[in-house]
Chain A
Amino acid sequence: MKDLIKLIGILLFTLLLACSSDSGDDGGNGGGGGKDDVWDKSRTAKVLVISDLSAGNLFPNTNYSSVVNTIKATEQNVILLNNTNVSFSATEMLNPAAKVALQSLYMPYFVPHGKTGNEYLGNTILLGQALNEMQQTVLSADCWMFQAEIPFTSSLKMRFLSGSFSSEDQIAAAVSSIKNNLFVSTLVAGTVKRNIVSKLETSLSTALTKDSYMLNIVDNVNKSSEYCIYILGSSKWKLRDTNESAISGDIKSFLIQIELLK
């Protein structure tokens, strides 16, 4: 009998030790309850944003080489080229991002956020692989939000969304869409006009529970820029690093590293 009690005691103690050693890992849907004090780079997505953070066209001329060189020199999972507007007439079109994609060996996906009489205004997502599925949510007539599943390690995929916002209406529509697409792997990146950042913050806090998401406004050297970069996602994402570098003139690259916590 004593031996049996001893055996049960040993088993219980072993079980207790086993449970306590797991306590730092993923606790399920506890809202980012994972270990986040150590940066796990093997679970990190790298988003490269190239922008001058203005409303102007990223490519006012046909000199793409500095941007192409930056893309080729930077390891990343997704590239966001901001304001790669596509001009058109009845007989001709000019799509600078397609030229950049060709030269840097990426596949371009255009995300519109406005339209004039002779231009589609928008961003281009560059990816290292052709997508089998991609869908854009129509936020307003000419402003869409990109969505696709994108691998960022050999075994991890993110549900990547991207949109650029210059009006409160667009933010309201975007937040509504994000609410319906906020899964653990959801990561949203884009630009937002600086004077409506507070609208983005309040809309999110109204639509979503506090612990279900993270929002980071990426700090940049020119804090008075008209636009800024936002990173938004489920609370399982943690912003680890941003690296701002000058490319050419006012054009800069922002390499943003975000870890998907266990």
Chain B
Amino acid sequence: MNMMNKIRYLIIYALLGLLANGTLMAQTSFRLMNFNTRMSGQMVNYSAKPFATLIKNYNPDFIVLQEVDYFTARNGGKDFTTELAAELGMFSAFGAAIVYQQGEYGVAILSKYPIQKISNNPLTSSSADMKEKRTVLYIDVILPGSNEKVRVAATHLDHSTDNVRLDMARQLDSYVGNSFPTILAGDFNAKPGENAVVQGMANWQRICNNFPTFPAIPTSKIDYIFAKPTGKWTVKSYEILKETGISDHCALVMDVEYNK
């Protein structure tokens, strides 16, 4: 073997070593769970513990939650987000959509990784059909290993009409922006063919299938996971957890990979 070949082999081995360490790997993988909590545990005496038990079985990196109560009268003046964060040891963010029953009501995100940014943004509509203002909450985290900054977003669109939800979907797209690889999960209260999903989320890659997610024994598809930029995401696994006994929605669990 001459000197040039030796150098070539050395370079190849060095590159392989770097790849094995993930230094040059542009892929970023994580597990996300989405769950509408049915009024923060109305089916389980408003306790976060059964949710923590279920979540621990799946060990997600991120948990996106809807129908989250913050010190409301109906849940006995509890902070569901912090209760769940304390049970799981995770970092958390709550985003209020409305003031409700002496407290607040909205969405939440839990993360295994420290949260670098929180932004909670109101969603509304000029239509008289709108029943409730809603919100899109997002967090930015820096994933360990790849050091990739990703944005994780949560929403729950109004249950009134498709036009109202289309307004809200367009607003959330604008709020979330395009700065970072972003995954968004939520209860859209919309079927896959509705304008809120087709037009409102046109800038996003839908990374869940059309199988039903609601109610607990599901017949309707209303919970979704989207990501952007489009064409950069690979779903490694996707599971719909039916009949959990703690909510009228199914939980969604997804292993997803971002390909830079």
Residue contact A133 to B83, C-beta cutoff 8 Å? no
The listed residue (A90, A95, A135) touching B90 by CB distance below 8 A is A95
22 contacts between A and B (CB under 8 A): A88-B112, A91-B56, A93-B90, A94-B89, A95-B85, A95-B89, A95-B90, A95-B91, A98-B82, A98-B92, A106-B82, A107-B79, A107-B94, A108-B92, A130-B104, A130-B120, A131-B118, A133-B119, A134-B93, A134-B117, A136-B117, A138-B116
A105 at the interface (CB under 8 A from B): yes
Residue on A nearest B121 in the bound complex, by CB = A132
In the bound assembly, the distance between CA atoms of A110 and B89 in angstroms comes to 12
Which of A87, A92, A98 counts the most chain B CB atoms within 10 A? Answer: A98
Residue on B nearest A111 in the bound complex, by CB = B114
Q: Enumerate chain A residues within 8 angstroms of B82, measured Cβ to Cβ.
A: 98, 101-102, 106-108
B96 at the interface (CB under 8 A from A): yes
B181 at the interface (CB under 8 A from A): no
In the bound assembly, the distance between CA atoms of A136 and B120 in angstroms comes to 15
Residue contact B95 to A132, C-beta cutoff 8 Å? yes
B88 at the interface (CB under 8 A from A): yes
A213 at the interface (CB under 8 A from B): no
Residue on A nearest B144 in the bound complex, by CB = A115
B70 at the interface (CB under 8 A from A): yes
| A43 CB → nearest B CB, Å | 28
Q: Enumerate chain A residues within 8 angstroms of B92, measured Cβ to Cβ.
A: 98, 108
Interface residue ranges, A against B (CB under 8 Å)? 86-88, 90-95, 98-99, 101-102, 105-110, 112, 120, 122, 130-136, 138, 144
Identify the 7 closest CB pairs spanning chains A and B, nearest first: A93-B89, A98-B86, A95-B89, A134-B118, A132-B120, A102-B86, A130-B94
| A20 CB → nearest B CB, Å | 47
By DSSP majority rule, is chain A's interface helix, strand, loop, or mixed?
strand
B115 at the interface (CB under 8 A from A): yes
Number of interchain pairs (Cβ within 8 Å): 83
| B30 CB → nearest A CB, Å | 13
Residue contact A101 to B86, C-beta cutoff 8 Å? yes
In the bound assembly, the distance between CA atoms of A140 and B95 in angstroms comes to 28
Interface residue ranges, B against A (CB under 8 Å)? 56, 59, 70-71, 79, 81-83, 85-86, 88-96, 104, 112, 114-120, 142
In the bound assembly, the distance between CA atoms of A57 and B167 in angstroms comes to 48
In the bound assembly, the distance between CA atoms of A108 and B86 in angstroms comes to 10
In the bound assembly, the distance between CA atoms of A92 and B115 in angstroms comes to 18
In the bound assembly, the distance between CA atoms of A106 and B86 in angstroms comes to 12
Residue on B nearest A136 in the bound complex, by CB = B116
Residue contact B118 to A133, C-beta cutoff 8 Å? yes
| B106 CB → nearest A CB, Å | 9
| B162 CB → nearest A CB, Å | 28
Residue contact A105 to B86, C-beta cutoff 8 Å? no
In the bound assembly, the distance between CA atoms of A135 and B89 in angstroms comes to 21
Q: Enumerate chain B residues within 8 angstroms of A94, measured Cβ to Cβ.
A: 89
Residue contact B88 to A93, C-beta cutoff 8 Å? yes
Residue contact A144 to B116, C-beta cutoff 8 Å? yes
In the bound assembly, the distance between CA atoms of A93 and B113 in angstroms comes to 10
In the bound assembly, the distance between CA atoms of A108 and B91 in angstroms comes to 8
| A240 CB → nearest B CB, Å | 31
Residue contact A99 to B86, C-beta cutoff 8 Å? yes
Residue on A nearest B94 in the bound complex, by CB = A130
Q: Enumerate chain B residues within 8 angstroms of A91, measured Cβ to Cβ.
A: 56, 59
Residue on A nearest B115 in the bound complex, by CB = A110
| CB within 8 Å for A144 and B114 given contacts A95-B86, A98-B86, A107-B79 | yes
